[in-house]
Amino acid sequence: MRVGIIGGGAAGLMCAAAVFEADPSVDIFLLERNEGLGKKVIISGGGRCNVTTGIQDVKMLLTKYPRGSKFLTTAMYAFPPEAVYEWFESHGVPLKNEPDNRVFPISDDGHDVVRAFEELFAMTRVQIMLGSNVTSVAKEGDEFLIYRKDTVEPLKVDKLVLTTGGQAYRHTGSTGDGYAFALALGQTITPLAPSLNAFFTKEKWTAKVSGIAFENATITAKLATEKEFTGPFLFTHKGVSGPAVFALSSLVAFKQYNAESPLPITIDLYPDDSIDELTGKIDVLRAVHGHKQFSNVLAMLVPKSLSEVVIHELGLSETKPANEFSKKDVSRCAGWLKAIPLNVVQRGAGDEFVTAGGVQLLEVDPTTMESKVCPGLYFAGEILDVDGFTGGFNLQASWATGYLAGTSLST
């Protein structure tokens, strides 16, 4: 049997490995348009490669996917995070589980993750075809034809796996070509949108507090049906970023917003306190430090630069002592910290930046990853209408679907 896998990213790499480990006699052709494998894998997580998650409860794991969670069920049980962990360790990549449940190579080097596959393939029948610019695919009878630029004769295979990724990080080769291949073979592509992105805001004051981070805040998008996420975030020169922002951006991936029609959000820096409780905390500090400027008293709760922003945004006195502030103004400050108002006007690149949308899941068998429309055609990874939050969840989905596709087509 001859198997063609188009796309040498996470899903394609794991698919090729799974095919070989299930049946070493299969001829595997792994086509990658770049001159090296796993380019996006290497740069993910700031180059450290957030391989997977430390969450081992599959039901909890599936809640981390705003799109495609039900579809992923079989794949996640077949190749859950602990199995991924064991696979890499058994292939020479020692891993570590960090306190926030992100899993990285002990070396903190994404090259080691890709090198594990390269070393495995060097000893197998996997033919790595780098620099392969696939232009089109077709099916004739029971065979798939893969046409490549500068090559007249197509590569003929018995089974074809599309693992071309989405269209985020286009410089890594994820240019969306796989969608065209899928369409040519009769599949449907759902609407596409960027996900896991930072937010750029209309407000410019965020530049004054750029770099300030909070470990636990609730960020809410003010839509007809409110979307919110609680977790870490930080202010940037252009807006806000960090895990909670990326997660919220995923929940509103298909919302259109710009300078003329911004997306209103609020940030609650004290999600565990009511406004009255936060006001009380400020009053306790005022009682002890009433002679100090109010911004200095607030600076005992939040960083000084942010306390100055609060004073400025609410139009309060910068010099008046804290004990001269009215209860109403103190309550206004507490209210502002509980619902910092911002207007998002643009998406900014995030750490993982993936594509929401893709191959219609109703047309793919979730127990095998084989197309219901085109027998012998399989899918894995980001080309599917599946995406997760930041924290290793997208790579986990790619490993799991790649593994399931590889083991399924081998039987």
Do 10 and 127 lie in one domain? The reply is: yes
Do 149 and 219 lie in one domain? The reply is: no
Do 261 and 284 lie in one domain? The reply is: yes
pLDDT digit string (tens) for the chain, length 411 residues: 999 999 999 999 999 999 999 999 999 999 999 999 999 899 888 899 999 999 999 999 999 999 999 999 999 999 999 999 999 999 999 999 999 999 999 999 999 999 999 999 998 889 999 999 999 999 999 999 999 998 889 999 999 999 998 875 444 445 578 999 999 999 999 999 989 999 999 999 999 999 999 999 999 999 888 999 999 999 999 999 999 999 999 999 999 999 999 999 999 999 999 999 999 999 999 999 999 999 999 999 999 999 999 999 999 998 999 999 999 999 999 999 999 999 999 998 654 478 899 999 999 999 999 999 999 999 999 999 999 999 999 999 999 999 999 999 987
Do 21 and 97 lie in one domain? The reply is: yes
Range of the domain at 385: 2-193+355-409
Do 261 and 392 lie in one domain? The reply is: no
Backbone angles phi, psi at 15, to 5 degrees: -60, -45
Do 126 and 234 lie in one domain? The reply is: no
Backbone angles phi, psi at 374, to 5 degrees: -130, 95
- Count of the separate structural domains present in the chain: 2
CATH number at residue 60: 3.50.50.60
Do 240 and 177 lie in one domain? The reply is: no
Q: Which of 350, 366, 392 is the last residue of a domain?
A: 350
Q: How far lies 95's CA from each of 51, 54, 80, 275, in Å?
A: 9, 11, 15, 43
String of DSSP letters for 15-65:
HHHHHHHH-TTSEEEEEESSSSS-HHHHHGGGGT---EES---HHHHHTT-
* pLDDT score, position 80: 98
* pLDDT score, position 170: 44
* pLDDT score, position 125: 83
Alpha-carbon span 85 to 52, nearest angstrom: 8
Q: Which of 308, 331, 350 is the last residue of a domain?
A: 350
Do 211 and 344 lie in one domain? The reply is: yes
Do 176 and 213 lie in one domain? The reply is: no
Do 121 and 68 lie in one domain? The reply is: yes
Can you say whether the dihedral through the CA atoms of 371, 133, 7, 248 is positive or negative? negative
Do 180 and 146 lie in one domain? The reply is: yes
Q: Which of 324, 350, 376 is the last residue of a domain?
A: 350
* pLDDT score, position 350: 57
* pLDDT score, position 173: 45
Do 323 and 386 lie in one domain? The reply is: no
Alpha-carbon span 163 to 7, nearest angstrom: 5
